[in-house]
Structure 1
Amino acid sequence: MNQHESAFDSVSPRDVTKVAALDMGSNSFHLVVARINAGSVQILHRVKQKVRLAEGLDDNDILSQEAIERGLQTLKIVAESLKGFEPDSVRIVATHTLRKAKNAKDFIHAAKEILPYPIEVISGTEEARLIYSGVAHTSHAEGQQLVVDIGGGSTEFVIGEGLSPLICRSLQMGCVSYTQRFFPDGKLTSKAFKKAVIAAEQELELIEDKYRRLGWQQCIGTSGTIRTLCLLAQPEPATNTETSLTLKALNQLTKQFIDAGHIDKLTMPILSPDRKVVIAAGLAILTAIFKALKIDTLQYSSAALREGVLYQMEDELHHADIRGRTAGSLATRYDVDTTQATLVLNTSLRLMDQCAKAWKLKHKDCRSMLGWAALLHEVGLQINSRGVQRHSAYILANVDMPGFTQEQQELLATLVRFHRKKVRVTEIPVFYQYDVNLVKRLIALLRLGALLNIKRQEDFIPDFTVDAQKHALSLTFPEGWLEGRPILSADLERESDYWKALDLTLTVS
């Protein structure tokens, strides 16, 4: 054995986790493959493919078959880089276009045939939070920072400090959608730029006062559009090193574009054919952002959504789940009876542990989603005890919930909506990731966990046995215990009738 072959013999291997994040954006699909080593995320491989999914959205928010096919063909390319990855080591997030498309489920169902991993449609707020995480983990900043990301269909704005986002918003303006609205024929006129900038400023009216009041010490821009604008704003000859951007530089770029008159006459070598099509819209949006938020300078960061996804995966693998902080915040804000919530949690999870095998509750989210639903099922009590299930569901469906995907949030709202009273199965939404029978079974378990703790007393429930079959569950209490509690006995009998709507049988003895 020579010295090269034996050089690493004394080096102990570290535990390394290989992970991948795929961002299915409105303009491009981005894949990042990395390894997590000693708590550090190390990028190994990147794939970027232009898709312009947002171009396929019509006025009725229906995604065209052509756009769907473009996306699916891109996923076939991406799939080559994901061969051999375990399901828990891959996270796929979809953003604005698939949030908006009414037929998004058609695309997602077809995508599952290509990629055997869950596809999460995340909310605009969650997208903004993940973008901030990507920036915050890869760049150091003193004090508060504003992060701006211009995507194909939406633009995200976050003010944060350190690793903590303070305020997150997503506005429906993006370089693909604005290209269609204001530069559809490729003509670059003063009138078109003026209309695009004003439209963006109108969107920004929703956030400008609040953001300016909160303030920031530095502004950071992410995404390919902002990177390209930074490069274009440099003095000739342009290098590949991004500098800061100012409103003056953006105005000068606008004049150059108008002088060119058409995107075909933009001859800058930095502009790829794909980027050239949408860069004017990106320029107009960024100009409006500078004006509305009164930004002095903006620095570019190469980190974005997919890096944020990777760092959240690292957090979930090694640190406390951010969802715990979200649940704690909601419990405080809505004055949840945490003792009662914990009773319902413990009973619901005990029931699930007994039913999981017979009911095939194999999805990785089953236990966590049932747990969060149990802890938060009474957030609506602050509104009114009457119809608490509706109030709680409304809050969970509409409040910002960092750490939860759009579909996870909808599942929580659905479980809580039917944790008591009549179950209207026609109101159970269709989920991409969760089978309807799984949802029904989680509803049943939460209902039973809440009902058995209706007295709101610790040590009220005695030891009982659970027998689960494919479509049924039997509870057996100590002899004579139910007879001494006729109201609870009647409640359980009525509950068995409610379970019929869930295609389940409940028997109690």
Structure 2
Amino acid sequence: MLNLNNAFDTVEVRESLKVAALDIGSNSFHLVVARIVAGSVQILHRVKQKVRLADGLGLDGSLSQEAQQRGLDTLATIAESLQDFAPESVRVVATHTLRKASNAKDFLQAAKKVFPFPIEVISGAEEARLIYQGVAHTNHQTGQRLVVDIGGGSTEFIIGDGFETKVLRSLQMGCVSYTNKFFKQGEIKAKYFSKAITSAQQELEMIDKKFNQLGWKACIGTSGTIKSIIELASQLDSTNRENCVSLTDLKILMDLCCAAGNSNDLKLEGLSDDRRPVFAAGLSILIAVFKSLNITEMEFSSAALREGVLYEMGDQLAQKDIRQRSAESLATRYDVDIEQAKRVLNTTMVLFHQVRKAWDISYPELKSLLGWSALLHEVGLHINTRGIQRHSSYILQNIDLPGFGQEQQNVLATLVRFHRKKIRSTEIAEFTLLQQSQVFKLIALLRLGVLLNIKRQDDILPDIKIAVEDKKIILTFPEDWLSQKPVFSADLEREVDYLKDIDIKLQY
């Protein structure tokens, strides 16, 4: 007789990691909750909310209050379903609209009041890379492939092989922005399609030559726009493979759109009400993509940006941290003194671990940003010794760094900018991922790590104790050590004055 009370008692329970990824897109907000078990991602829950954030992006570049409120209301709803998640198990990325909005900081500050997780505004290249990772982990074709993702405000293009990307591009065209530009009030005419397709092909002139030269064996489309198009194409009398679309199919769908005359009258079976208003714009972009890149057939992948985020969150799946690859590439390109970088890193981490709890900076991402800034603080030395901190900051802020979000790069650039010489607190921007007081604390720790290794020699530092009291740092050296190091003493004396500008008192 079956005894349900004892069911599964002998089943071995493997350790799992529950994670969530939220994609704040220009058209929709997508939440995916998953667990990672034995190196595989198991999707538990998906939520899609149509927000149309890009609808509120005005000609002056500002995001309207109405659009902001739609976004905030959606974030508040999503926050309820993430109540039990630790901060490090949730990653939130924002794309085109918040990249472009001149008042994005206002929205991000308001979001803090209703949404407890930090929001990263990622670059177009980083968005493309994460999209590709989502596809690469769920599609197993061999050889080079082209991935296309049409979003609300931008379209991403990637060529890669296996898990490695070869070229990443993000173009300023999306189904929401093109609807507002070419299909106003829902009007659909052949001449509007022609203008939209031509405009998209003009954008594609920036990449078509290089992409066609590289070539690919398989072409994969992601996102809701391409999904809708392929689902509708499957109803046509087509010889395509299942889950695929051709240029002939796209032209037939365009004719059907023009016959309807208005998106409100577009009654294609399977076309959802929320997709109907932006369908023609997305279709026009895809037609242009097929023409400019000479695509014969495209298949669909359900995995995209949020899945890419999930896979990177699982340490079990990471063959090697993408940020480590980026940092190593940068160090090689700019001939960083590796031994000195490691000295500064080691000292900075020793200090960090002694104060992280008292200073409330234990969050793993803060440790990572401090560590990467220690390793990369001298990339600007390749340009000139004089003003190295400014050169290093400029490089870190402007170079393509896969794995780092836009704000993460800005934080790195800020830490490195003030790793030596005077600190100008008025030049330190406010961030959404970190509080300003946390930025100040990281700057102080990095500066001490650099200062204590100014001799660029191994084994000259004794055991150093550090304690903190609110905005006060107390350094303790072995008895009589400083008295024998007059240059160190002078450097520390000068540092006392420098740190005053970020309201930190140094005592030693």
Distance in 2 between residues matched to 1:468 and 1:242, nearest whole Å = 64
RMSD between aligned alpha carbons? 2.0
Deviations 1:9-54 (A, max 9, x none): 3211121222221111110111111121211111111111111000
Distance in 1 between residues matched to 2:92 and 2:465, nearest whole Å = 40
Determine the structure 2 residue equivalent to 1:364: 364
Determine the structure 1 residue equivalent to 2:329: 329
Q: Please state how far the C-alpha of 1:166 moved relative to its aligned partner.
A: 2.0
Q: Please state how far the C-alpha of 1:242 moved relative to its aligned partner.
A: 5.7
- In structure 2, the CA distance between the partners of 1:62 and 1:449, relative to structure 1 (3 Å rule), is same
Percent of counterpart pairs with the same letter?
A: 60
Determine the structure 2 residue equivalent to 1:95: 95
Please state whether the residue corresponding to 1:384 is helix, strand or coil: coil
Alpha carbons 1:122, 1:407 under 8 Å: kept:
yes
Alpha carbons 2:95, 2:123 under 8 Å: kept:
yes
Deviations 1:132-166 (A, max 9, x none): 11111111111011111000011111111112222
Q: Please state how far the C-alpha of 1:502 moved relative to its aligned partner.
A: 1.1
Distance in 1 between residues matched to 2:302 and 2:466, nearest whole Å = 54
Alpha carbons 2:183, 2:281 under 8 Å: kept:
yes
Determine the structure 1 residue equivalent to 2:311: 311
1:279 maps onto 2:279 in alignment: yes
Alpha carbons 2:38, 2:316 under 8 Å: kept:
no
1:16 maps onto 2:5 in alignment: no
Q: Specify every segment of 5 or more residues in structure 2 that has no aligned partner in the other structure, as ranges.
A: none
Alpha carbons 1:198, 1:288 under 8 Å: kept:
yes
Alignment of 1:299-448 (within 5 A): 299-315=299-315, 320-448=320-448
Judge which range, 478-487 or 186-195, deviates more.
478-487
Q: What letter corresponds to residue 475 of structure 1 in structure 2?
A: L
- In structure 2, the CA distance between the partners of 1:384 and 1:270, relative to structure 1 (3 Å rule), is same
Determine the structure 1 residue equivalent to 2:487: 487
Q: Please state how far the C-alpha of 1:348 moved relative to its aligned partner.
A: 0.9
Normalising by structure 2, we get a TM-score of 0.95
Q: Please state how far the C-alpha of 1:221 moved relative to its aligned partner.
A: 0.2
Please state whether the residue corresponding to 1:185 is helix, strand or coil: helix
Q: Please state how far the C-alpha of 1:236 moved relative to its aligned partner.
A: 4.1
Distance in 1 between residues matched to 2:122 and 2:53, nearest whole Å = 16
Judge which range, 192-201 or 432-441, deviates more.
192-201
Q: Please state how far the C-alpha of 1:466 moved relative to its aligned partner.
A: 2.3
Alpha carbons 2:204, 2:292 under 8 Å: kept:
yes
Judge which range, 278-287 or 200-209, deviates more.
200-209
Deviations 1:198-245 (A, max 9, x none): 22122222222222222211110000100111122234489xx96322
Alignment of 1:29-428 (within 5 A): 29-236=29-236, 243-315=243-315, 320-428=320-428
Distance in 2 between residues matched to 1:319 and 1:113, nearest whole Å = 37
- In structure 2, the CA distance between the partners of 1:316 and 1:12, relative to structure 1 (3 Å rule), is closer
Q: Please state how far the C-alpha of 1:478 moved relative to its aligned partner.
A: 3.7
Please state whether the residue corresponding to 2:314 is helix, strand or coil: helix
- In structure 2, the CA distance between the partners of 1:9 and 1:176, relative to structure 1 (3 Å rule), is same
Aligned residues: 506
Distance in 2 between residues matched to 1:236 and 1:283, nearest whole Å = 15
Distance in 2 between residues matched to 1:318 and 1:292, nearest whole Å = 35
Q: What letter corresponds to residue 9 of structure 1 in structure 2?
A: D
Please state whether the residue corresponding to 2:187 is helix, strand or coil: coil
Q: Specify every segment of 5 or more residues in structure 1 that has no aligned partner in the other structure, as ranges.
A: none
Q: What letter corresponds to residue 327 of structure 2 in structure 1?
A: A
- In structure 2, the CA distance between the partners of 1:80 and 1:203, relative to structure 1 (3 Å rule), is same
Q: What letter corresponds to residue 416 of structure 1 in structure 2?
A: V
Judge which range, 408-417 or 347-356, deviates more.
347-356
Please state whether the residue corresponding to 1:291 is helix, strand or coil: helix
Distance in 2 between residues matched to 1:80 and 1:483, nearest whole Å = 58
Determine the structure 2 residue equivalent to 1:500: 500
Alpha carbons 1:120, 1:405 under 8 Å: kept:
yes
Distance in 2 between residues matched to 1:220 and 1:256, nearest whole Å = 24
Please state whether the residue corresponding to 1:113 is helix, strand or coil: coil
Alpha carbons 1:242, 1:300 under 8 Å: kept:
no
Distance in 2 between residues matched to 1:99 and 1:145, nearest whole Å = 27
Distance in 2 between residues matched to 1:209 and 1:220, nearest whole Å = 19
- In structure 2, the CA distance between the partners of 1:467 and 1:302, relative to structure 1 (3 Å rule), is closer
Alpha carbons 1:231, 1:242 under 8 Å: kept:
no
Q: What letter corresponds to residue 322 of structure 1 in structure 2?
A: I
Q: What letter corresponds to residue 185 of structure 1 in structure 2?
A: Q
Q: What letter corresponds to residue 280 of structure 1 in structure 2?
A: A
Distance in 1 between residues matched to 2:463 and 2:48, nearest whole Å = 56
Normalising by structure 1, we get a TM-score of 0.94
Deviations 1:92-151 (A, max 9, x none): 211111122222233223333333222222221111111111111111111011111000
Distance in 1 between residues matched to 2:140 and 2:170, nearest whole Å = 24
Alpha carbons 1:225, 1:279 under 8 Å: kept:
yes
Please state whether the residue corresponding to 2:275 is helix, strand or coil: helix
Please state whether the residue corresponding to 2:245 is helix, strand or coil: coil
Please state whether the residue corresponding to 1:468 is helix, strand or coil: strand
Q: Please state how far the C-alpha of 1:4 moved relative to its aligned partner.
A: 4.6
Alpha carbons 1:230, 1:242 under 8 Å: kept:
no
Alpha carbons 2:147, 2:157 under 8 Å: kept:
yes
